[in-house]
Amino acid sequence: MQQINSFEAYIKAYQNSIDNPEQFWDGVAHQFHWTKPWETTLEWNFTEPSIKWFAGGETNLCYNCIDRHLPTKANQTAIIFEPNNPDEEVRKLTYQELYIEVCKFANVLKSLGVNKGDRVCIYMPMVPEGAIAMLACARIGAIHSVVFAGFSATSLADRINDSECKILITADAVYRGDKLVALKNIVDEALANCPSIKNCIIYNNRNENINIVPNRDLWWHNLLVHISAENTAEPMDSEAPLFILYTSGSTGKPKGVLHTTAGYMIYVGYTFLNVFNYQPQEIFWCTADIGWVTGHSYLIYGPLLNGATTIMFEGVPNYPNAGRFWDVVDKHQVNIFYTAPTAIRALEAQGTQWFEGKDLSSLRVLGSVGEPINEEAWQWYHKNVGHSNCPIVDTWWQTETGGILISPIAGITPLKPAFATLPLPGVQPVLMDANGNEITENDVEGNLCIKFPWPGMSRTLYGDHERFRQTYYNTYKNYYFTGDGARRDHKGYYRITGRVDDVINVSGHRIGTGEVEDAINTHASVVESAVVGFPHDIKGQGICAFVIITTPQENLEQEIKETVSKIIGPFAKPDRIIIVPGLPKTRSGKIMRRILRKIAEGDISNLGDVSTLLDPGVVVEIRRLAGVFRGGI
């Protein structure tokens, strides 16, 4: 595939991609393997919305990730598995070995009656079998829905039920640091309420004693006995659904973001190669979990599409100590390292002694993803991890965009700390003013929209196209609305400032305020709640909940926190609960979060106009109860 190798080449490619988008993407698509060529490159309208890329064509993502490389790269390592416990064994799978495992598992799924278009839920730790399961689904045309293995039983069940998954793939348990997470127990609790699940496949990761439900539960290793390793990748329509990935919106119910085959493949393949300026033989390490879109696009699919070597790390940044990331970089001589600002800030707080004795000289490119990176963290990362000679690519994108949209091209785009810089070829970002018009000048701030399709964009929300339209294509007619605010400097560089909707970003995890409120409200003593984000030194944003209760009770705050942990997952646990007598509401009953956000931030000097409130007195009371609370740790 063609790689951009100078800033002039980027400018030229960008201009070309805007002047002749179809020709541009045709050129990229030709670099992949197709079983049937496409008839039209792009058909679209943002009103319905309806977006089709490479319609009429047939291809297979798994084939392009694996089979295509076998003639030249059979013995090259595809996946390096680094276990949670550094004393346990590293596993390496070559492209040939990965091919065999994926073919076998594809046959397992077929033998269990999984057909094209069926949904398969994957609730797995960060082990190669998670990747094998995803690739096997793509190979047979089943739609995978990976659920992050930090989600609770209730969240898992909701996601399985929303897309009526037929099979659930999981593991007995996983260690994260020194904590054992009994995944199969969580699964058993979830499956009590999931009528669509016919079978549960369990990968034996830790040899834990687990409960086996006869006829339903099957061990991964037993299924592999006597299974053929011959499997032909299923030719898939370009627009055939590839995967569903649930993400949070402003209401309680998570959204099943749907991606389709060819456009997603081409987009992540192209962006991986170019953003990271990947060179043959390099070792790429993305620390994201396969349960998030970064894990899909830049841990598995992007690297494999380019025949790269990708690291899968089962552990956490601070186990056995805060030097673990640097141990792994040293041990595997990592060339490209891609992580989240929250991890950088957490490690920064641990001091620089953790770098002592670690050889980081293999590093060539660093990446950041998931939330705005503040300038201080950027500088620390650049100096201590990159020894001031590795470019940092601050990559802005979303679950819905499939791949990176705004980012420097490593080594090519001149950097500016805390700026995601310029759009990638094919991407047409615009800023909108308060009246819904495009802002044409620079040095401005506005709501970030994209005005032309790119191949990796989401096509719908599973089972709810109307919600898809409403959420992304209704605020601004004929634009995709990202939900983010951004600033554009005098050179046209973008800095993403954060969400402008009711979504908060905690440690790079997107959480809907409505989702947390729904969870809090299930507690018997809770009458009503309102959740807002506040600036947090390490997590980026923390969660603050204002809660109205029936009767005071000891330890209620703790109980409410636990309720959220139980219903959504530990990562969504509020940092602070403030019990209040009332919430600031307008006469029409809408909660004025703007006021609560200011109180949570500790910025109570000017709460703005409170005259539209039903009961302005309640604000005085909330302010008193909140104290002068400052965000942070």
Residue type, 257: V
Residue 396 is a binding residue for ligand WT7 (CB under 6 A): yes
Helical packing angle, 95-111 and 128-140, nearest 10°: 60
CB atoms closer than 10 angstroms to residue 115: 12
Residue 484 is a binding residue for ligand WT7 (CB under 6 A): yes
Q: Please, which residue, 170 or 401, has the CB nearer to ligand WT7?
A: 401
Q: Please, which residue, 403 or 453, has the CB nearer to ligand WT7?
A: 403
Q: Binding residue for ligand WT7 (CB under 6 A) from 154, 247, 287, 447?
A: 247
C-alpha dist (Å) from residue 163 to 117, 121, 138, 159, 606: 11, 9, 17, 7, 46
Contact 336, 385 (CB under 8 A): no
Q: How far is the CB of 585 from ligand WT7 (least distance, A)?
A: 27
Residues 6+ apart with CB under 8 A from 524: 550
Q: Please, which residue, 170 or 399, has the CB nearer to ligand WT7?
A: 399
Q: Contact region for ligand WT7 (CB under 6 A) — 6-14, 19-27, 44-52, 390-398?
A: 390-398
Helix (H) or strand (E) holding 160: helix 153-162
Tokens 């506005």 label which residue? Answer: 446
Q: Binding residue for ligand WT7 (CB under 6 A) from 398, 421, 471, 507?
A: 398
Upper half-sphere CA count for residue 171 (Cβ side, 13 Å): 22
Q: How far is the CB of 501 from ligand WT7 (least distance, A)?
A: 9
What track of x and - describes contact with ligand WT7 for positions 338 through 377 (by CB under 6 A)?
-------------------------------xxxx-----
**Residues, the chain:** 633
Residue 155 is a binding residue for ligand WT7 (CB under 6 A): no
Q: Please, which residue, 231 or 247, has the CB nearer to ligand WT7?
A: 247
* Phi, psi torsion values for 552, nearest 5 degrees: -60, 150
Q: Contact region for ligand WT7 (CB under 6 A) — 41-49, 58-66, 271-279, 389-397?
A: 389-397
Q: How far is the CB of 403 from ligand WT7 (least distance, A)?
A: 9
Pairing of strands 503-506, 509-512: antiparallel
Q: Please, which residue, 199 or 248, has the CB nearer to ligand WT7?
A: 248
Q: Please, which residue, 193 or 250, has the CB nearer to ligand WT7?
A: 250
Q: Please, which residue, 342 or 529, has the CB nearer to ligand WT7?
A: 342
Q: Binding residue for ligand WT7 (CB under 6 A) from 184, 499, 523, 593?
A: 499
Q: How far is the CB of 437 from ligand WT7 (least distance, A)?
A: 22
Task: Give CA–CA dist 529/522, Å, rounded.
Answer: 11
CB atoms closer than 10 angstroms to residue 70: 14
Q: For 191-305, where are the E strands, in sequence order?
A: 199-203, 217-219, 236-237, 241-247, 255-260, 283-286
Three-state SS sequence of 590-612? CECHHHHHHHHHCCCCCCCCCCC
Q: Binding residue for ligand WT7 (CB under 6 A) from 310, 505, 513, 563?
A: 505
Q: Contact region for ligand WT7 (CB under 6 A) — 137-145, 197-205, 292-300, 315-323?
A: 292-300
Interacting residues with ligand WT7 (CB under 6 A): 247, 292-294, 369-372, 394-399, 420, 482-484, 496, 498-499, 505, 510
